[in-house]
Amino acid sequence: MLLSIHNITKRYRTYNTLFSRDTGLEFMAVNDVSLDVKEGVTLGIVGQSGSGKTTLAHIMVGIIKPDSGVMRYNGEQYSLNKNIQMVFQHPDTSLNPRLTVYSMLKDLHINRTEATHLMDIIGLDSSYLSRYPSQMSGGEKQRVSIARALALHPKLIIADEPVSSLDVSVQAQILNLIKRLKTELNVTFVLISHELAVVSWLCDEVAVMHKGCIVEQGKVEYVLNNPQDSYTRELLATSALT
Ligand SMILES: Nc1ncnc2c1ncn2[C@@H]1O[C@H](COP(=O)(O)OP(=O)(O)OP(=O)(O)O)[C@@H](O)[C@H]1O
Ligand SMILES: [Mg+2]
């Protein structure tokens, strides 16, 4: 198994927002989640806003430490692993506004030849290497985020809502790019999305998250055609897929 996580839990304390007071209460942002990611099998994680998808993604790449649970990459326990990279939900906040694309890649020890090659892979002219994030469109910034994730030659990329902040016309281009990278570079993707149409187009398997728990998982065609859980049925009923 490329990646497997077992019984991952993350609690957050709740605060009274009006008085910034710690209420002493905790809630489970991720509640006893176990998942397997097989090499070459694209896994979609769906669920409504606040269901814990980003928290789970950040745990899997090692940005957040879980309260409990075990994560394994190729059978070996890890907390951080350069083979697992992430494309963040908001390119605007994940790209450093003070760095050009090239300086960002240079920080990852990528030389100019490799950087030019990366630009070629993600479909941007090498002149973009000297641009700052503010000089690029949303779609271009998301391409650069993908280039940054690819820079260290990962085996697995976790893409958190990679197209939700983009125009519909640009969404298709980025999704096509991801589809191409899967086969050309032999990278396995975990794709987080609240859009079932996106998941059904790009993913082989899907896990449905609700209130921090995985309520259902399996092959995409199966789960979307025969949802067993009432929450999955609700999601399907409210999505554009039906
Ligand atoms: N650092 C934090 N401290 C406290 N609560 C947090 C923190 N980060 C996330 N949460 C809460 O945990 C829950 C899950 O958040 P998360 O961002 O993982 O959801 P999500 O499924 O990615 O939502 P979205 O679809 O809107 O991106 C939410 O209720 C959120 O408010
Ligand atoms: Mg999120």
Nearest to 82 by CA among 145, 143, 155, 146: 155
Half-sphere CA count of 86, side-chain side, radius 13 A: 22
Cβ contact 156:85 at 8 Å: yes
Instruction: Walk along the chain (242 residues) and give the pLDDT tens digit of each residue.
Output: 999 999 999 999 887 777 777 777 889 999 999 999 999 999 999 999 999 999 999 999 999 999 999 999 999 999 999 999 999 988 888 899 999 999 999 999 999 999 999 999 999 999 999 999 999 999 999 999 999 999 999 999 999 999 988 988 899 999 999 999 999 999 999 999 988 889 999 999 999 999 999 999 999 999 999 999 999 999 888 875 44
192/24 Cα distance (integer angstroms): 31
- Output the six-digit token pair for 168: 């519909």
For the Cβ of 52 lying below 6 angstroms from any atom of ligand 1, the answer is yes
65/80 Cα distance (integer angstroms): 10
Cβ contact 219:204 at 8 Å: yes
For the Cβ of 212 lying below 6 angstroms from any atom of ligand 1, the answer is no
- Output the six-digit token pair for 207: 């896990």
Q: What Cα–Cα distance (Å) separates residue 242 from each residue in 9, 12, 21, 231?
A: 33, 35, 44, 15
Q: How big is the chain, counted in residues?
A: 242
Task: Select from 11, 15, 54, 58 the residue to mutate for testing ligand 1; criterion: most ligand atoms less than 8 Å from CB.
Answer: 54
pLDDT at 242: 40
For the Cβ of 47 lying below 6 angstroms from any atom of ligand 1, the answer is yes
Contacts for 159 with CB less than 8 Å, ≥ 6 apart: 86, 87, 146, 149, 178, 189, 190, 191, 192
Atom of ligand 1 nearest to the CA of 14: 4
Task: List the beta bridge partners of residue 213.
Answer: 210
- The CA-CA-CA angle for residues 72, 63, 87, to 5°, reads 90
CA of 117 to the centre of ligand 2 (A): 30
- Output the six-digit token pair for 44: 């979609």
Radius of gyration of the chain (CA): 18
Q: Distance between alpha carbon 222 and the CA centroid of its chain, in Å?
A: 22
Which pTM value belongs to this model?
Answer: 0.94
